[in-house]
């Protein structure tokens, strides 16, 4: 069920540029982008070590910590974890672009996990690693280095 409408490189670039645009209105934009870029840099290694499915589950669990108690704290932590949502959305965008997948549950990514379970996980993992390589390159190009 492979379909191709744009190149992997173009998609990776679009994902990075979309995240940059989405982060414009955050007051902690620099911190968010630093975490986003840092996570992208380790994404390929994490997929190789833990598999694509395990990586998605790990990031999903980081996105929704259960220990938060106060609403104000919860909203602040949610903003701090927004970069994880952007990464998961970008992984979903890859499968939406190149496979017959539609992410209808953006809050919890359950349908993404179900899609991965039903498909050829080895093929998915090999293909996503080519995307992650370009994703990392474009993160390095478009996200500024620390000025500290």
Helices then strands, counting H and E runs in the chain, come out as: 6, 0
Exposed (0-12), middle (13-18) or buried (19+): which is 70, by Cβ within 10 Å? exposed
- Over the stretch 71-90, which tens digit does the pLDDT of each residue have? 555 555 566 689 999 999 99
CATH number of 8-142: 1.10.520.30
Average pLDDT of the residues of the chain? 85
pTM of the model: 0.84
State the pLDDT confidence band at 103, using cuts at 50, 70 and 90: confident
- Over the stretch 25-55, which tens digit does the pLDDT of each residue have? 888 899 999 999 999 999 999 999 999 999 9
Q: Are 47 and 55 in contact (CB under 8 A)?
A: yes
Q: Is the pLDDT of residue 69 over 90?
A: no
- Over the stretch 5-25, which tens digit does the pLDDT of each residue have? 569 999 999 999 999 999 988
Domain boundaries of the chain, sorted by first residue: 8-142
Q: What share of the chain is helix, strand, coil (3-state, %, to 5)?
A: 75, 0, 25
| Residue 68 to residue 85: CA distance in whole angstroms | 18
Query: What Rg do the C-alpha atoms of the chain give, in angstroms?
Result: 15
């Amino acid at each position: 069920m492979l379909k191709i409408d744009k190149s992997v490189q173009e998609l990776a670039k679009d994902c990075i540029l979309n995240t940059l645009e989405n982060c414009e209105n955050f007051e902690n934009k620099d911190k968010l982008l630093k975490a986003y870029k840092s996570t992208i840099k380790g994404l390929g290694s994490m997929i190789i070590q833990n598999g694509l499915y395990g990586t998605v589950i790990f990031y999903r669990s980081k996105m929704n910590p259960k220990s938060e108690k106060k609403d104000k704290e919860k909203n602040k932590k949610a903003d701090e974890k927004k970069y994880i949502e952007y990464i998961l959305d970008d992984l979903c965008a890859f499968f939406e672009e190149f496979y017959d997948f539609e992410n209808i549950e953006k809050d919890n990514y359950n349908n993404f996990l179900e899609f991965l379970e039903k498909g050829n996980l080895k093929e998915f993992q090999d293909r996503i690693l080519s995307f992650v390589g370009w994703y990392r390159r474009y993160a390095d190009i478009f996200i500024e280095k620390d000025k500290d």
